[in-house]
Amino acid sequence: MTLEIITADCLAPLRHGFFTRRGGASSGIFQGLNCGHGSSDQAEIVTINRTRAADAMGLDPDHLLSVHQVHSPDVATLSEPFSEKPRADAMVTATPGLGLGILTADCQPVLFADPEAAVVGAAHAGWKGTLAGVLEATVEAMEALGADRDRIIAVIGPSISQRAYEVGLDFMDDFLAEDPDNHRFFAGGEGDRVQFDLPGFGLARLRVAGVGHAEWTGHCTYSDPERFFSYRRATHAGEADYGRLLSVIRL
């Protein structure tokens, strides 16, 4: 099966893509394109999957870079390949030939670009990182490389949607403590549960940050098991682990 890559017209002509799970070498619960070395999948199979993705992006496999994601607001500015992954949840670069690869399985993968300044970025934005400011920090790191936030395009890829993201009231309290207006990202669930709109929250943060354009591809990871890995779906199914989706942008 060939790779399936979701792209956004607004990021063209830059090479980029949100890879689905289709077209990979993994099997079992990781069936497809599992690109996460942090999973319990066979390391050599994950390397094969990442090499296929790198080829699709026109990259040397050693130039497809990922960070050690820790749900933080930290951003790594990259100018060359590295041997040890920095602990961060976003990357920016102005160096042609480097691919920024974010891994997700319900969290938001966000690809950024200022084509005029030739600066790109990529962020892993779960609820913790988004609340902590990883999206704004990515924009600031791009500006340090010469980007203009008025020109920055940001696209949120496949993420868990509100209808599938049920949380407790204590979760909502963390958001209301930061800004009471955040109540608009929650809708009534069953009993004492509420449903959280992660992509909506991400889009709002990007727009308040002043980026020129922000959009979500509209794909829900939880609701489409044929195309996407999902941490929450795997947990509900009692599975021991889950695959990681890869999203990439390069100059």
Q: CATH homologous superfamily for 5-161+197-250?
A: CNF1/YfiH-like putative cysteine hydrolases (3.60.140.10)
Residue percentage of the chain with pLDDT more than 70: 100
Q: Identify the pLDDT of residue 47.
A: 98
Residue ranges of domains in the chain: 5-161+197-250
- pLDDT tens profile 84-110: 999 999 999 999 999 999 999 999 999
Q: What is the mean pLDDT of the chain?
A: 97
- pLDDT tens profile 29-42: 999 999 999 999 99
- pLDDT tens profile 194-237: 999 999 999 999 999 999 999 999 999 999 999 999 999 999 99
Nearest-angstrom CA–CA distance, 120 and 95 = 9
Residue 1 has pLDDT above 80, yes or no: no
Partners of 166 in the beta sheet?
A: 195
Q: Identify the pLDDT of residue 222.
A: 98
Q: CB of 240 within 8 A of CB of 40?
A: yes
Helix (DSSP H) and strand (DSSP E) numbers for the chain: 6, 14
- pLDDT tens profile 132-166: 999 999 999 999 999 999 999 999 999 999 999 99
Segment 122-129 shows an average pLDDT of 98
- pTM assigned to the model: 0.97
Q: Identify the pLDDT of residue 169.
A: 94
Instruction: Describe the strand order of the beta sheet including 108-114 as a list of residue ranges.
Output: 75-78, 90-93, 119-125, 108-114, 153-156, 213-216
A 10 A CB-CB count for 251 gives 17
The beta-carbon contacts of 235-241 under 8 Å, at least 24 apart in sequence, are 239/29, 240/29, 240/40, 241/29, 241/30, 241/39, 241/40, 241/41
Q: Identify the pLDDT of residue 190.
A: 81
